[in-house]
């Protein structure tokens, strides 16, 4: 059975609703809703049964680097609402369409946390609801679940709620990336893959340089599926070695 360990960081992650979502009334909310309604990837996600448009970012990355191999064990950090986990489960499990995976009952592991929202179960996915990736106890629980098998891929689409203060937001997303990287060091197999989202800024360059100490290949990616107004980029690293 393919195992996709999947948890969410809700205290620091964007609050996400349905694809077209609802937000508090106001000018910015109206602009956001209009953008959602006009976005072709939002419309495509509805048709193809993905939980949000971010699914196409992971699809684009995997089409480029081919790291979601059949039978792989994947840890998805900050997974709400579950689109990356959908894509990963699909691609490690015979490449079926989102609505036609092998019918393996998803299990739910409940951990203690506050201010969290549940994610609906996914076939082939072990959901750790209400879990904070920055919590050492949560990271220990993931290590226990994986056991000696370890993970082939650790990936993170985590991001903090944007304050509008660029330097502060950049520091916050880097903290999340550091937490995901710390987990990768304890669960990744030799030769494994690490993938995470960052926002452009000086600390991103430092972070990528540090990755080179434990990964033989690293690549910074700006995706076609990223909105033009966004400063996000993804760092892909492969061929992990612990020393």
Residues serving a catalytic function are 197
**DSSP state letters, 146-188:** HGGG-EEEEEE---PPP-S-HHHHHHHHHHHHHHHHHHHHHHE
Alpha-carbon span 113 to 237, nearest angstrom: 30
Alpha-carbon span 166 to 130, nearest angstrom: 28
98: Cβ–Cβ under 8 A, 6 or more apart, which residues?
Answer: 48, 49, 50, 86, 90
Is 106 within 8 Å of 89 (Cβ atoms)? no
Number of CB atoms found within 10 A of residue 188's CB:
26
Alpha-carbon span 48 to 98, nearest angstrom: 7
Q: Enumerate the β-bridge partners of residue 151.
A: 188
39: alpha, beta or left? (left if phi > 0; alpha if psi -120 to 50): beta
């Amino acid at each position: 059975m393919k195992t996709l360990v999947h948890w969410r960081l809700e205290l620091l992650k964007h609050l996400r609703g349905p694809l077209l979502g609802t937000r508090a009334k106001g000018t910015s909310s109206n602009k956001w809703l209009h953008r959602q309604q006009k976005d072709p990837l939002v419309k495509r996600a509805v048709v193809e049964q993905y939980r949000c448009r971010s699914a196409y970012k992971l699809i684009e990355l995997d089409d480029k680097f081919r790291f979601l191999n059949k039978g792989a064990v994947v840890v998805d950090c900050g997974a709400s609402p579950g689109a990356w986990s959908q894509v990963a489960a699909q691609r490690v499990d015979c490449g079926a369409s989102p609505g036609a995976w092998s019918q393996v009952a998803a299990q739910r592991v409940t951990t203690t946390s506050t201010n969290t929202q549940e994610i609906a179960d996914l076939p082939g996915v072990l959901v750790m609801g209400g879990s904070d990736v920055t919590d050492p106890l949560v990271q220990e629980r993931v290590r226990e679940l994986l056991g000696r098998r370890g993970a082939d891929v650790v990936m993170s689409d985590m991001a903090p709620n944007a304050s509008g203060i660029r330097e502060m937001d950049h520091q916050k997303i880097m903290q999340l990336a550091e937490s995901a990287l710390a987990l990768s060091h304890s669960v990744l197999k030799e030769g494994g893959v690490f993938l995470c989202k960052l926002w452009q800024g000086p600390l991103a360059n430092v972070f990528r340089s540090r990755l080179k100490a434990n990964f033989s290949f690293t690549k910074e990616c700006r995706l076609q599926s990223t909105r033009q107004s966004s400063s996000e980029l993804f760092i892909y690293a492969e061929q992990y070695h612990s020393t």
